[in-house]
Chains A and B, each alone.
Chain A
Amino acid sequence: ELKVEQNPLFLSMQEGKNYTIYCNYSTTSDRLYWYRQDPGKSLESLFVLLSNGAVKQEGRLMASLDTKARLSTLHITAAVHDLSATYFCAVRKDKIIFGKGTRLHILP
């Protein structure tokens, strides 16, 4: 059974700081996703990572994938308040299974 674990589940940080969210998954899969969710809204797709060593960056967010370790990271650089949201990693093995999410609160 595919399991996806994220940590931390809650993160409060100051603007301007860097931090990393970790995502571990239990079995091989063919792709890994990172999504953002704002309160009351559906999912916004951030990254799709397909292969070992994949790294993608968009603004202050950078995602990477290590398929051998079954680990993905979402790195936030110089956080700003607008990045406050819940971030989910999700793994696909025929169907997409989500981690529990990381609630990110960035203090001005």
Chain B
Amino acid sequence: GAVVSQHPSRVICKSGTSVKIECRSLDFQATTMFWYRQFPKQSLMLMATSNEGSKATYEQGVEKDKFLINHASLTLSTLTVTSAHPEDSSFYICSARTLSSYEQYFGPGTRLTVT
């Protein structure tokens, strides 16, 4: 149980375009999901906390107009990178928190490459 999926697993886009990444909790409901970003050989940095039905809370230094987060249901959160640039190339990992145990489970990640 407690499986989190992400789609796509890998995406390449051109500079200036937007790309959407989906995060789904497959076998549990998650009122809260988290989005992390990981640059090569670095740690995971929390970008934002996404609550179902309300606005996301962004960490300091993360542009909310650039990284649009929507958490429309208890099993789906999306991260849209708008007007992507090469410096946005990174590994994006989502995490979903269960209602029952309050535990967080991590998705397999999405590797974004902006050319």
Residues of A within 8 A of B34 (CB): 95-96
What does the 1/0 interface line of B79-115 toward A look like (CB < 8 Å)?
0000000000000010100000001101111010000
Q: Are the C-beta atoms of B106 and A42 separated by less than 8 Å?
A: yes
Q: Are the C-beta atoms of B104 and A98 separated by less than 8 Å?
A: no
Residues of B within 8 A of A40 (CB): 111
With contacts A42-B93, A43-B93 taken as known, whether A97 is within 8 angstroms of B46 at the C-beta atoms is yes
A92–B41 Cα distance when bound, in Å, is 22
A41–B34 Cα distance when bound, in Å, is 18
Contact of B44 among A45, A48, A98, A103 (CB under 8 A): A98
A21–B74 Cα distance when bound, in Å, is 37
Task: With a 10 A CB-CB cut-off, give which of A42, A98, A99, A103 has the most chain B CB atoms.
Answer: A42
Interface of B is mostly: strand
Interface residues on B, range: 10 to 19
* A25 interfacial by beta-carbon distance below 8 Å: no
Residues of A within 8 A of B54 (CB): none
Q: Are the C-beta atoms of B95 and A96 separated by less than 8 Å?
A: yes
Residues of A within 8 A of B104 (CB): 92, 96
* A34 interfacial by beta-carbon distance below 8 Å: no
A100–B103 Cα distance when bound, in Å, is 21
What does the 1/0 interface line of A66-101 toward B look like (CB < 8 Å)?
000000000000000000000010001001111111
A99–B49 Cα distance when bound, in Å, is 18
With contacts A95-B34, A96-B95 taken as known, whether A42 is within 8 angstroms of B108 at the C-beta atoms is yes
Q: Which residue of A lies closest to B41 (CB)?
A: A103
With contacts A95-B34, A96-B34, A96-B95 taken as known, whether A42 is within 8 angstroms of B107 at the C-beta atoms is yes
What would be 9 A-B contacts, judged by CB atoms less than 8 Å apart? A40-B111, A42-B107, A43-B44, A96-B34, A97-B46, A98-B43, A98-B44, A99-B43, A103-B41
Further 9 A-B residue pairs, CB within 8 A, beyond A96-B34, A100-B43, A101-B43: A42-B107, A43-B93, A43-B106, A45-B106, A96-B95, A97-B46, A98-B44, A98-B45, A100-B42
